[in-house]
């Protein structure tokens, strides 16, 4: 379906351990990751290279992260995702006003961060974004929320569509329960894995010839779901 290109991530974080853990998590998720430990390093990286997303800690030893955002915005339109323990609303507003796109408060789960990164690098809806998925037996039009399964047309709800889109984006890889819940219901929602199971069941009743023996929407016990072509 989509042509897959490796997204380039710049991770700016002065805490050595967090930098290492997040850096290897992002690399394991398939991102080309560049690490920077100071604001000056970050600005130099941004001047020399093009990134698809920038993850920026606000509390850096040499510069205020907000000033890094201002300087970055002079040269790049890449989404900037702020990572910070500063929970005050004013700090968030200031970071967003300077040109950050989103905000993740520390401590955050790795699943949540990866979900935010995926959203950040995903092309905007309607701007050349792939609006369709097609495999041998299934065609899905995400914009009109229609699935055609073995010739039969099924209407999907918004959440059913989002579940299928998240799985289609992963190109057959498993997407974790946590990531799916975050993507479908949002970070601050009350939904959990049970909601996801109910939603997956609904989708199966629409797209599977036998919902009890799924062929397309596959559950990987304890891990998540994947879409089998
Ligand atoms: Ca810091």
Distance (Å) from CA 188 to ligand 1 centroid: 24
Enumerate helices (H) and strands (E) in the chain, giving the number of each: 8, 12
For residue 134, the model assigns a pLDDT of 85
Distance (Å) from CA 13 to ligand 1 centroid: 6
Q: Where among 121, 156, 188 does a domain terminate?
A: 121
Domain with 66 in it: 8-121
Distance (Å) from CA 18 to ligand 1 centroid: 9
96 and 139 in a single domain? The answer is no
**Backbone phi and psi for residue 123, each to the nearest 5 degrees, phi listed first:** -60, 145
User: pLDDT for 89-131, tens place per residue?
Assistant: 788 888 989 999 888 888 888 888 998 898 888 765 444 445 7
Distance (Å) from CA 56 to ligand 1 centroid: 9
State the average pLDDT over residues 209-223: 93
183 and 222 in a single domain? The answer is yes
Report whether 47 contacts 72 (CB < 8 A): no
Distance (Å) from CA 57 to ligand 1 centroid: 6
pLDDT exceeds cutoff 70 at 200: yes
Does 3 fall in a domain?
A: no
């Amino acid at each position: 379906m989509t042509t897959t290109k490796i997204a380039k991530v710049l991770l700016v974080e002065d805490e050595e351990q967090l930098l290492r853990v997040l850096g290897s998590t992002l690399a394991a998720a398939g991102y080309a990751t560049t690490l920077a430990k100071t604001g000056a390093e970050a600005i130099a990286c941004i001047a020399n290279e093009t990134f698809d997303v920038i993850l920026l800690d606000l509390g850096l030893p040499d510069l205020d992260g907000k000033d890094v955002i201002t300087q970055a915005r002079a040269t790049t339109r890449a989404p900037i995702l702020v990572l910070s323990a500063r929970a005050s609303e004013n700090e968030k507003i200031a970071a967003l006003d300077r040109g950050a796109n989103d905000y993740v408060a520390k401590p955050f789960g790795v699943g949540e961060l990866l979900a935010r990164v995926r959203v950040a690098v995903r092309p905007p809806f309607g701007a050349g974004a792939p609006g369709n998925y097609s495999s041998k037996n299934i065609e899905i039009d995400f914009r009109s929320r229609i699935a055609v399964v073995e010739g039969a047309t099924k209407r999907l709800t918004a959440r059913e569509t989002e579940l299928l889109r998240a799985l289609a984006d992963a190109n057959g890889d498993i997407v974790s329960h946590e990531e799916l819940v975050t993507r479908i219901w949002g970070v601050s929602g009350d939904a959990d894995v049970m909601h996801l199971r109910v939603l997956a069941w609904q989708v199966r009743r629409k797209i599977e010839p036998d919902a009890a023996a799924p062929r397309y929407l596959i559950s990987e016990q304890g891990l998540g779901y994947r879409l089998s072509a």
